[in-house]
């Protein structure tokens, strides 16, 4: 018995969401008095791999097969399942990232495991029952799911578990599996990553704007504020529908669900479908010229005012704060 964590990297580096997942998996291993093994696939430097020990991994399996350099869903799922079997891991943890959402269901089938996707808290294990709390109804509620199978797969929602540091460097081992040719039917032609921007699902701060901004030409202020705060930018659905911003920025029930530490909503009314995707943010700030806007009902801080007047002052205030910090 052991816990296996799939440590996802982006361009050879581990992300914060990976450290969260390793910390989370470590806590599950501790609950069960067992050890935590990490698996990394792709080109990651040895010291980066060993550093996973700081978050609780005792051993890191390194899969550096050239064919597996880039994410191939089927093949990665096979490798992780093999590693779980070879190490007697009955609990597999991963991040509920875009790749994680591809892997978790395939792993569930391969391992005959119940899958808890979008987990937001540590499992509870009482009287032989293993339950996990996960998001449901697009952030409007949580469901407590019992995994009744012997093997279990858990995909952790980014920003819902704190990174815990403490351990020392992990032992890194090569892990080789014969990759099945039939696992490589898909071919990656191109990968486009805007490296200068904070990615929305992982962002700790999100600056989001709605139809109140009037037009795409006014997003300069939003981007400036986001840059100053190291934040990702987001928008409401009508804004992406109108083509003012890309679809990948649309948050809400039918868009991306985010749970940053700070969500700043500017010129967004706070329709129930928008709130669904953002209500698990830790702190919500609303800037809207209409004091009756529904968003104020779920906000922690608010400014009733015209965005075109408030934003320049807010940007100046953030600059001043940063200069003095």
Partner 1 sequence: MMKILVCISNVPDTTTKITFTDNNTQFNTNGVQFILNPYDEIALARAIELTDGGKGSVTVINVGEVNTEATIRKALAIGATDAVRINAKPHDAWYVAYQVAEHIKANPFDLILTGRESIDYNGSKVAGMLGELLDIPSVSIIKKLDVTDAEATVEREIEGGKEVITIPFPFVAGCAEGVAEPKIPNMRGIMSARTKPLAVVEPVEVQTLSEIISYETPAPRGQVNLVSADDPAKLVELLHTQARVI
Scanning residues 223 to 262, which ones bind partner 1 (CB under 8 A)?
229, 240, 247-248, 250, 253-255, 257, 261-262
Rounded-to-integer distance, Cα 259 and Cα 253, Å: 13
Residue 318, Cβ neighbours under 10 Å: how many?
Answer: 15
Scanning residues 268 to 287, which ones bind partner 1 (CB under 8 A)?
272-273, 276, 279-280, 282-286
Rounded-to-integer distance, Cα 25 and Cα 119, Å: 12
Nearer to partner 1, 269 or 279 (CB): 279
CB of 246 to partner 1, least distance (A): 9
Q: 126: number of CA atoms within 13 Å, CB side?
A: 4
Is residue 302 a contact residue for partner 1 (CB under 8 A)?
A: yes
* 24, two tokens: 């989370």
Whether 58 and 171 have beta carbons less than 8 Å apart is answered as yes
Nearer to partner 1, 29 or 229 (CB): 229
Rounded-to-integer distance, Cα 2 and Cα 94, Å: 15
Whether 221 and 311 have beta carbons less than 8 Å apart is answered as yes
Is residue 212 a contact residue for ligand FAD (CB under 6 A)?
A: yes
Report H helices in 8-94: 16-31, 46-50, 73-86
Q: 308: number of CA atoms within 13 Å, CB side?
A: 7
Rounded-to-integer distance, Cα 95 and Cα 312, Å: 37
Site string for partner 1, 38-77 (x = CB under 8 A): ---------------------------------x-xx--x
Find the binder of ligand FAD among 237, 264, 284, 303 (CB under 6 A). 237
CB of 116 to partner 1, least distance (A): 7
Alpha-carbon Rg of the chain, whole angstroms?
21
Scanning residues 105 to 124, which ones bind ligand FAD (CB under 6 A)?
none
Which listed range, 50-58, 125-133, 149-157, 301-309, lies at the site for ligand FAD (CB under 6 A)?
301-309
CB of 261 to ligand FAD, least distance (A): 20
Q: What is the DSSP letter of 291?
A: T
Which listed range, 21-29, 40-48, 110-118, 211-219, lies at the site for partner 1 (CB under 8 A)?
110-118
Nearer to ligand FAD, 72 or 311 (CB): 311
Choose from partner 1, ligand FAD, none: what does 267 bind? Cβ within 5-8 Å by kind: ligand FAD
Rounded-to-integer distance, Cα 120 and Cα 258, Å: 12
Binding site for ligand FAD (CB under 6 A): 210-212, 236-239, 252-255, 267-269, 271, 273-274, 277, 288-290, 293, 306-308
């Amino acid at each position: 018995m052991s816990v296996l964590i799939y440590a996802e990297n982006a361009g050879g580096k581990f992300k914060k969401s990976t450290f969260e997942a390793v910390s989370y998996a470590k806590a599950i291993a501790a609950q069960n008095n067992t050890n935590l093994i990490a698996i990394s696939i792709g080109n990651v430097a040895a010291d980066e791999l060993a550093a996973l020990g700081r978050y609780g991994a005792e051993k890191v399996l390194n899969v550096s097969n050239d064919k597996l350099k880039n994410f191939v869903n089927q093949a990665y799922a096979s490798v992780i399942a093999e590693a779980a079997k070879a190490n007697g891991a009955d609990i597999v943890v991963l991040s509920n990232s875009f790749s994680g959402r591809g892997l978790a269901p395939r792993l569930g089938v391969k391992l005959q495991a119940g899958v808890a996707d979008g987990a937001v808290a540590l499992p509870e294990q009482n009287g032989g029952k293993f339950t996990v709390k996960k998001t449901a109804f697009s952030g409007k509620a949580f469901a407590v799911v019992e995994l009744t199978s012997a093997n279990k797969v858990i995909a952790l929602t980014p920003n819902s578990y704190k990174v815990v540091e403490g351990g020392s460097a992990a032992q890194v081992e090569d892990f080789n599996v014969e990759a099945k040719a039939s696992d490589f039917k898909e071919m990656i032609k191109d990968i486009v990553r805007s490296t200068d921007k904070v990615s929305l699902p992982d962002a700790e701060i999100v600056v989001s704007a709605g139809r109140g901004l009037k037009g795409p030409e006014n997003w300069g202020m939003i981007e400036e504020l986001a840059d100053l705060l190291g934040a990702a930018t987001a928008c409401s659905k009508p804004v992406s529908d109108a083509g003012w911003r890309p679809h990948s920025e649309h948050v809400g029930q039918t868009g991306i669900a985010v749970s940053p530490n700070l969500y700043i909503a500017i010129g967004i009314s706070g329709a129930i479908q928008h709130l669904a995707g953002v209500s698990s943010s830790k702190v919500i700030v609303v800037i809207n010229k209409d004091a009756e806007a529904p968003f104020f009902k779920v906000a922690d801080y608010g400014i009733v005012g015209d965005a075109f007047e408030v934003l320049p002052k807010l940007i100046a205030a953030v600059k001043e704060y940063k200069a003095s910090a």
